[in-house]
Structure 1
Amino acid sequence: MKKKLLYIMGLGFTLCTTSCKDWLELPSEKDFDSSTIFEDPGKVEMAVLGAYTSTFNAELFYQFGMGTDECFSTEGETNSKNQVSNYVYNPAISPSGTYSAMYAGVEQANVIIKNIPLMSDVDESEKEKLNMLLGEAYAIRAMNMLNVVRYFGDVPYPRIPVVDMPGFSSSRVHRDTIFEGCIADLQEAIVLLPWKGESGLPVERISKNAAYGLLARTALYAAGYSLRWDLTSYASSTVQLARRNDSQRIAELYAIARDACKAIVDRGEHALINYETIFRDLVNGRYNKESMFEYGQKSADRNEARLGYTNGIFAHTNSFYQKAQPAMAALPTYYFEFEEGDSRRDVAIANYSLNADSVHQLNTYASHTIGKFRVNWKADLGVSAAQRDINWIHLRYADVLLMYAEAENELANGPTPVAKEMLEMVRLRAFKEDRAKIGTTPTSYAAFRDAIMQERKLELGFEGWRRTDLIRWGVLFEKLTETKQDLLDLANHTGKYGHVDRFRAYKKTDAKVFNDPTVALDFISFKEEPSSAERTQLEKEGYTLLDMYSANAAFFANALKADATWVRNIYRGLEKNKVELFPLSTATIDANPGLRGQQHPLY
């Protein structure tokens, strides 16, 4: 039994010394004896820090981050990641890594939550530390369960350690029950945890501030739409996208979200900073006032997520920065969602690649990549080409402001002055505080809700929330259907895309320094193909002319045409009231007898 417990817990530790990024290596399973963990607070801290290693998984930004109106898979149509991205699901290929990782973290948290209160022989200072560690465990359990529920719906919900269970099988529990448990856990965590400014904790650990943000996020999901079915019959006829049927509790959940965001704002420890700086700091391991909670990537065992490699800019293996090979990219239409002057566009979307000659090469519309985690912004190469030591942001302040605005609008059935202020703060930062550029803030409930949906798309692009945001708003099918038509219109250079550049001329520049200052390549726009004389003049001036619809790209060299296979196959498996949740993988069901006969009814 002890070996099984140790396997499930996977205990490890990461201690901070002079820098919040100085993560030590995790000990192996054989280095730990579960009977000694709760002898002193130092060992308990090791256990808690070990639990953090199960709060993130590459699927959260990779498989689950694609198939949105921001991001698509660049892998082939027979690749399982591409299939998942385009809603072609079946139990044989359904992702299971996040499911397993999140439950490992839940088990770790359950062991900690059970045992800390049993530690009686401690002094006052140790008691204070143990309370903080207990708060972290409650928060980890809640955030991990949210990650499971938002992709798989009603799932097993263990709240005691495996060794205390009568058996090792467990069945699905109604998601509203899970949501309520998560909210209670986060409320308890808030009581126990110190504020960030008082704790001295690194950004990779949960403070009271972060717990409030996680509470707001959880409450919004609990109040929103999700794919539901009858857990008694599992009849396919009962599957529907719906909210819980308790309108009073929905209102209470929005109030919980609002109050949690208000507590963070009122505390005043966080602020919006320059948008570009957020991500330059991120890739270089620097802390700032906007980032509230990150997953640390410093130690070798945590680099398996390949942040900046799978989800970053393309860098040729012979380039100065060595290889970065994205498997996902910005949907061509996403580039045009940003209004003129929005400083976020060229940070979120890299309009260039890094070619074999270590030169910035302009991308076509089809080959724009994710720019927030670009390897050329780093000060060094990292552990290896695929292991760049780039953290993942779980929560930042702009997200809190947008959740605040959303909750206010829901509670008042229209935007309150506070709701407008929160939204405008985010928009003003995007437009360098130029109020003339942010336009008029909507005054009706529906228009403001639409504005929030759009702003979260622009502000939080590629940060892992869009897919399930669309689901909790109940509009995944509608938004992606609209986006598919937009993509076809762009490919046909018609409709609202009839005015976009067909060609762009740019100057290639060297990409041979760390902390590369290049955000985006400047270009000259051409609505039609330049004449021979114009081409000659451009060449004399050192410009390279690029057909933006061509296959002439360093990465994803595919033409943007309506009949192209990759365009036709975008969202090819999309089906309302079905794909909003993944089926459980065959291996997951086989490993848990309690789940037999409890598969997603439409699979």
Structure 2
Amino acid sequence: MKVKYILKRISLSIFLVLLTGLFSCKKYLDLKPQSSFDESYVFSTVTTATSAVMGVYGHLAGQEGYGSRLSTMYTVDQDESMSYSNTSAGGGDGGQKALARYNATSENAILLPPYNQLYAGIEGANICIKNIPKMDTYINGSATDQAALKRLYGEVLTLRAQFFFELIRNWGDVIAPFMPSIDQPDLTLPQTNRDEIYDHILADLKTAEDLVPWRKEVGGAANERITKGAVKAIRAKIALFSGGYSLRRSHTMERRANYLDYYKIARDECDEIIKSGQHALNPTFESIFKTYMDAHLMEPNGEILFEVAMAGGLGATDSRLTTTGPTVGVNANGACRMLPTYYYAFDSLDTRKDVTVTDYSINSSNFKTAHPTATIGVIYAGKFRQDWVTNPTIDPKVSTLLAGINWPVIRYSDVLLMFAEADNEISGGASPEAVSAFEAVRKRGFKGNEAKIGLTPTDKDGFFKAIINERWLEFGGEGIRKYDLIRWNLLGTKIAEAKANLLKIVNKEAPYQNLPTIRYYKTSSTTMVWYNSMYTPEPVLPTPPAGYTKVNWTTGLSLAYINTVADSFTPNRAELLPFPLAAINANPKIIQNYGY
């Protein structure tokens, strides 16, 4: 069982905790590490070095990592989803809603803990990167031990790259320590230009590629430990961001003059993954989440190149991903609302729709119902839903927010679409290989109706727009859309477009003129059964059909809801977050991001 492996990893992480402490930003800037085990002990054997690296993995997990904040709270609002519905201007809570509405201040409650945790991960990685190559076993050990230590070294180089990547895409130019704090001559470092950090970690990842094995060479829980495909995929993604747009000190969105060099890195890395035969799409989109991720099992096709291990039932180690899904029993989930315009962006034949979005709640009797307000403004994310959690199943009458679901850092469909995007940009149009990669993802979405995917454009602009749309449909609820839109310099454009289309729904304008104003759902049913279609006007009935309940649909969508979506977004400011006030107080060399 996967869960046993996770719990083993979490228990091993105590070694790194003892070695480094849980570094907050302030601790990193003005304290030296306290240690019960010194470095010579921790890095004396393969076993203890493995424990240290497993501890670095641990900094990805928990509610301050990809268990909640970095995965589901930092990634909304955009044209796909929004945080909790809240009509207060700018969010009004000084936390999750304010951040989602682009109204965060430097004192926002959910800024500092993730920021600290990312730097704690970098500190732990730096200690491992310093010490593993110096181990006598690394140089003179048996072939087996050398291979194990080289793998650990490649893994921790990749983990450090991921920590830096997350910092850059949220804060831009950041403090960039590449050695342990105990070795730093000055702990109050100035910020480093993100391009320098990108180039450094891209070089590290190139080194790591040759140190870690392919997934089929190790088997077991290969998805939770970094393998060669994961390194290459992460390197490709970071290269696309390095060549993409970002908010610069000029207060404008800019990209590097040599951005095509980075697109070439992305294309080549993805091409090598595709040709390796190590990874493949799961034939059924729903299975990725319902059969494997939500069931605490490893996806067997290599669709998930790397996932963050979660378990333990503690906020520091587990995930709260089900809070984005439908409300179940006593648990008031529904923290992530999918926009009606996103719901209606799916073709009726696209199997991803009913996986990615849900239009029901589940009461403590296990009956599926429409949400009490029952409008298309209350549609939940669906990939990490509590009613899909098995091994063990969560009782709807038990209050729990921690479900042990892993977070997918990168999937094979992302590799295919990154390849298609990069190849199109470099070639000035879609090559047959790019079209094939793109259509593989789309055909899987239309499983059973592959002939209905439509004609794929091959001109550069048309294919790029198809990529934008396909990534939207493929990765809903996976924390990808906002950052994609930023690197394309389309975030403001797409938010405005979504709000304009929401208004069209309210006004019953094309293409939404035929949507029903009310719908009827079956009462006391363990499956969600709608009497009338979501695409056509409702039937004229004197009373609800027997056994069905009438609920509002488009009539429940209000101007207040529309105005709330990303309501404080300001271009050339909101693409980055403010640095936490505590971080600036600890290091006066940090320059606050523009507009904060």
Question: TM-score higher than 0.5 here?
Answer: yes
**Pair 1:296–1:384, CA change in 2 (3 A):** farther
**Higher mean Cα deviation, 21-30 or 421-430?**
21-30
Q: 1:101 aligns with which of 117, 121, 125?
A: 117
Deviation larger for 250-259 or 375-384: 375-384
- Is 1:47 aligned to residue 52 of structure 2? yes
SS at match of 1:525: coil
Report the Cα distance in structure 1 between the residues aligned to 2:73 and 2:447, rounded to whole angstroms.
33
- Is 1:266–2:271 an aligned residue pair? no
CA distance in structure 2 between the aligned counterparts of 1:41 and 1:182, rounded to whole angstroms: 25
1:287 has 2:320 as partner: no
The superposition leaves residues 555-575 of structure 1 with CA deviations (integer Å, 9 ceiling, x where unpaired) of: xxxx3112x2x3222221111
Aligned to 1:125: 144
Point out the more displaced range, 398-407 or 48-57: 48-57
> Which residue of 468, 484, 494 maps to 1:469?
484
State whether residues 324 and 386 of structure 1, in contact with CA within 8 Å, keep that contact through their aligned partners in structure 2.
Answer: no
Deviation at 1:370, TM superposition (A): 0.8
Change (3 A) 1:211 1:74: same
Which residue of structure 2 lines up, in the alignment, with residue 207 of structure 1?
227
Distance in 1 of aligned mates of 2:352 and 2:98: 29
Question: Which whole-Å deviations, capped at 9, do the CAs of 1:273-314 have from their partners, x for residues lacking one?
Answer: 211100011011111221111111122346665433321221
Q: Kindly provide the amino acid, as one letter, of the partner of residue 328 in structure 2.
A: A
TM value normalised by structure 2: 0.88
Determine whether 1:222 maps to 2:246: no
1:334 partner amino acid: Y
Give CA-to-partner distance per residue, 1:138-193, whole Å, 9 cap, x none: 00011111111001000011111111001221111001101101111111110100
Partners of 1:381 and 1:388 within 8 A in 2: no
How far did residue 259 of structure 1 move?
1.0
Structure 1 residues 366, 204: closer, same or farther in 2, change over 3 A? same
Out of 254, 261, 281, the residue aligned to residue 263 of structure 2 is 254
Matched, 1:427 2:437: no
Verify the 8 A CA contact 2:7 2:311 in the aligned structure 1.
yes
| Residue 402, structure 1, aligned to residue 417, structure 2 | yes
Question: Map of 1:24-173 to 2, 5 A cutoff?
Answer: 24-25=10-11, 26-27=13-14, 29-30=17-18, 32-35=36-39, 36-56=41-61, 57=65, 58-74=68-84, 76=86, 77=88, 78-79=92-93, 80-93=95-108, 95-121=111-137, 122-173=141-192
Secondary structure in structure 1 of the residue aligned to 2:551? strand
Instruction: Give the conservation status (yes or no) of the 8 Å contact 2:420–2:434.
Output: yes
| Match in the other structure for 2:521 | 506
SS at match of 2:197: helix
* Paired AA for residue 286 in structure 1: L
- Matched AA of 1:139: T
Q: Deviations over 1:340-391 (max 9, x none)?
A: 2000001000111112432101343111101101111122345961111111
Candidates 377, 383, 397, aligned match of 1:372: 383
> Quick check: 1:324–1:375 contact (8 Å CA) kept in 2?
no
Structure 1 position 63, deviation (Å): 2.1
| Shift, 1:103, TM fit | 1.2
Take 2:589 and 2:132, find their aligned partners in 1: how far apart are those partners?
30
Moved more, 206-215 or 500-509: 500-509
Name the structure 1 match of 2:254. 242
Partner SS for 1:107: helix
Shift of 1:577: 1.1
Whole-Å Cα distance in 2 between the matches of residues 384 and 51 of structure 1? 30
Q: Paired residue for 1:232?
A: none
Quick one: structure 1 residues 20 and 55, their matched pair in 2 at CA, closer, same or farther if it must change by over 3 Å?
Answer: closer
**Matched-pair contact (CA < 8 Å) for 2:53–2:125:** yes
TM-aligned CA deviation for residue 81 of structure 1: 1.4
Contact 2:304–2:412 (CA<8 Å) still a contact in 1? yes
The structure 1 residue matched to 2:581, chosen from 581, 586, 591, is 586
2:514–2:537: 8 Å Cα contact kept in structure 1? Answer: no
Distance in structure 1 (CA, Å) of the matches to 2:484 and 2:495? 13
Aligned counterpart, 2:29: none
Following the alignment from structure 1 to structure 2, what is the Cα–Cα distance between the partners of residues 227 and 37?
Answer: 41
Q: 1:480 to 1:184 in 2, by over 3 A?
A: same
Distance 1:401 1:21 in 2: 32
In the superposition, relative to structure 1, how do residues 180 and 349 fare at CA in structure 2: closer, same or farther (>3 Å)?
same
Deviation at 1:435, TM superposition (A): 3.1
Match of 2:22 in 1: none
The answer (yes or no) to whether the contact 1:488–1:567 under 8 Å persists in 2 is yes
Q: Deviation at 1:440? A: 0.3
Q: Distance in 2 between matches of 1:190 and 1:264?
A: 11
Choose which of 359, 362, 370 in structure 2 pairs with 1:362. 370
Look up the match of 1:335: 343
Equivalent-residue separation in structure 1 for 2:515 and 2:229 (angstroms) = 43
Q: 1:22 offset after TM fit, Å?
A: 5.6
* Contact preservation (8 Å) 1:22, 1:298: no
Q: Which residue of 2 aligns with 1:6?
A: none
- Mapped to 2, the partners of 1:528 and 1:272 lie a distance apart of 37
| Preserved contact between residue 102 and residue 568 of structure 2 (Cα < 8 Å) | yes
1:22 & 1:118 partners in 2: Cα distance? 26
Give the TM-score of the pair, scaled to structure 1.
0.87
Give, in whole Å, the separation in 1 of the partners of 2:524 and 2:158.
47
**Counterpart secondary structure, 1:310:** helix
Report sequence identity in percent: 33
Looking at structure 2, the residues matched to 190 and 339 of structure 1 have their Cα atoms a distance apart, in angstroms, of: 39
- Structure 1 window deviating more from structure 2 (377-386 vs 400-409): it is 377-386
Aligned length: 550
Deviation at 1:455, TM superposition (A): 0.6
Q: Report the CA distance shift for 1:117/1:570 in structure 2 as closer, same or farther (over 3 A).
A: same
Distance (whole Å) between structure 2 residues aligned to residue 113 and residue 329 of structure 1 = 41
Match for 1:571 among 566, 575, 579?
566
Is the 2:519–2:530 Cα contact (8 Å) retained in structure 1? no
Say if 2:548 is the partner of 1:543: yes
Indicate if the aligned counterparts of 2:349 and 2:449 stay in contact, CA closer than 8 A.
Answer: no
Secondary structure, counterpart of 2:520 in structure 1: strand
Q: Which residue of 2 aligns with 1:183?
A: 202
1:504/1:546 contact within 8 Å kept = yes
Distance 1:334 1:193 in 2: 39
CA distance in 2, matches of 1:586, 1:465: 27
Q: For residues 101 and 10 of structure 2, what CA distance do their matches in structure 1 show?
A: 39
Distance in 2, matches of 1:502 and 1:18, equals 49
User: Contact 2:532 / 2:538 at 8 angstroms: preserved in 1?
Assistant: no
Letter in 2 for 1:27: I
SS at match of 2:281: coil
Q: Contact 2:423/2:431 (CA < 8 Å) preserved in 1?
A: yes
Secondary structure, in 3 states, of the residue corresponding to 2:192? coil
The amino acid across from 1:505 in the alignment is: Y
Superposed CA offset, 1:45-102 (max 9, x none): 0010000111241211232121111111115431231121111132222723322111
User: Conserved in 1, the CA contact under 8 Å of 2:505 and 2:554?
Assistant: no
Structure 1 portions without partners, runs of 5+ = 1-14, 230-237, 318-322, 512-517, 551-558
Instruction: State the distance in 2 between where 1:19 and 1:99 align.
Output: 27
Q: Which moved more, 1:306-315 or 1:572-581?
A: 306-315
Instruction: Supply the RMSD in Å over aligned alpha carbons.
Output: 2.2
* Contact in 2 for aligned 1:220/1:254 (Cα 8 Å): yes
Structure 2: segments with no counterpart, 5+ residues? 20-35
Following superposition, the deviation at residue 339 of structure 1 comes to 1.1
Retained in 2: the 8 A contact 1:239–1:601? yes
Report the AA paired with residue 335 of structure 2.
A
